[in-house]
Amino acid sequence: MITFFTSGNWIHSEKVEPTNHPILFWYLAIIGFLLLWFRFLQCFVRYRVTGQKMHVQNGFKYSLAITTNVTSVLWTTFYPQSTTAKYVYIGSNIASCLASYCWDTYYDWGLLRSRDKGKWLLRPKIMYPSYFYYWGLVTNFFMRIAWTATFTKPYLPAFLQDPNTFILFLSVVEIIRRAQWSIIRLESENVNNFERYRNILQIPELDDDLPIQQIATGASKKA
């Protein structure tokens, strides 16, 4: 793979069109659907265990993603000439992106929870500089809707007109988005514990000089 890209062969290689490779198309469609379906079911398992309604909302978010997956297949495979199918796909994709963006912002990152000076629209506890979160709010939105560039290709720069370059561009954008999401997501869970994965927020320091019995009962060294 490294040689394929570094040698420049990818520029002149034949584009793999799903319509020309039906097995590849259905493989990608089915795998994409199953991943979303299992995640959808997991949300309701989490709701049954925790009783938190946020997991039902998360399930709704994944139901929109599943709808996008299905409408994409219907449009590109069964109704490629249908304007209605095209706009149904676009509408479902927009709804899915907006739901995912709102979930990223409020639940995964824990933002929009503070009105304090210097932390407006952020949250009371943050580990990174404030501007990093504002940068994430803006860039995450635009990277979420990067797929819309597929409908504006004639207006894109010349180097993005090549199909392989365009796919590579969208892939890099998604990698950057997910990396940025992971950084803030881990930080948010570490300082806030919104989803209650831990019983305590911070693990107390262990005093090696205390007997095990005193540590277990919470007795202090002075006591």
Q: pLDDT, tens digit, for every residue of 15-59? A: 555 555 667 678 878 999 999 999 999 999 999 998 989 999 999
How is 41-77 classified by DSSP, letter by letter? HHHHHHHHHH--THHHHHHHHHHHHHHHHHHHHIIII
Q: Label each residue of 136-159 as H, E or C.
A: HHHHHHHHHCHHHHHHCHHHCCHH
Q: What is the pLDDT of residue 175?
A: 97
Q: What is the pLDDT of residue 153?
A: 84
% of residues, the chain, pLDDT over 70: 76
Q: Please, what is the Cα angle at 179 between 103 and 58, to 5 degrees?
A: 20
Q: What is the pTM of this model?
A: 0.79
State the average pLDDT over residues 171-192: 94
Q: What is the pLDDT of residue 154?
A: 85
Q: What is the pLDDT of residue 149?
A: 93
Give pLDDT tens digits for 80-118. Answer: 899 999 999 999 999 999 999 999 999 999 999 999 988
Question: Which position has the higher pLDDT, 65 or 222?
Answer: 65
Q: What is the pLDDT of residue 27?
A: 81
Give residue 210's pLDDT band: very low, low, confident or very high (50, 70, 90). Answer: low
Domain parsing of the chain, residue ranges: 18-108, 115-196
Q: What is the pLDDT of residue 115?
A: 92
State the average pLDDT over residues 139-163: 91
Which range in 76-80, 99-103, 149-153, 163-167 is most confidently predicted, on average pLDDT?
99-103
Q: What is the pLDDT of residue 53?
A: 92
For residue 63, pLDDT beyond 80: yes
State the average pLDDT over residues 119-137: 95
